[in-house]
Amino acid sequence: MTEIDTRFYNKDQSWYFIRIVKWNNHKLKVVIRRNAYDHQSYAKCYKFDGKQWNVVNSMPIEDCKCQDISYVMKEERFPQMQVLFMEDSETLFDIAKKIIE
């Protein structure tokens, strides 16, 4: 996989993690939103079809390693938090690759 972009930020009482990669001529994007509420959180993987991003797969936030992260956590914990989001993105990418192949 070739990394295209990774973003990690706090907005709207949520942590957002967005990662875009290129794999076998496919562009894949993971978007994870960890909101204060589980029902407003999500973890999804998309594939770009040349015009738009389409959902390939998703995971409930309860199955994500980042589930214990709160939007009020301080920025000095960025490195530890980002590792959990990165691990969740790898899981989503792995599942998406199996679906696409």
DSSP state of 51: S
**pLDDT for the residue 78:** 74
pTM of the model: 0.93
Please compute the mean of the pLDDT values over residues 77-94 and round it to a whole number: 92
Indicate whether 26 pLDDT > 90: yes
What is d(CA 23, CA 2) in angstroms, rounded to the nearest whole number?
A: 7
What is d(CA 20, CA 39) in angstroms, rounded to the nearest whole number?
A: 24
Strands in 36-96 per DSSP E: 42-48, 53-59
**pLDDT for the residue 64:** 97
What is d(CA 6, CA 80) in angstroms, rounded to the nearest whole number?
A: 16
Indicate whether 76 pLDDT > 80: no
DSSP state of 72: T
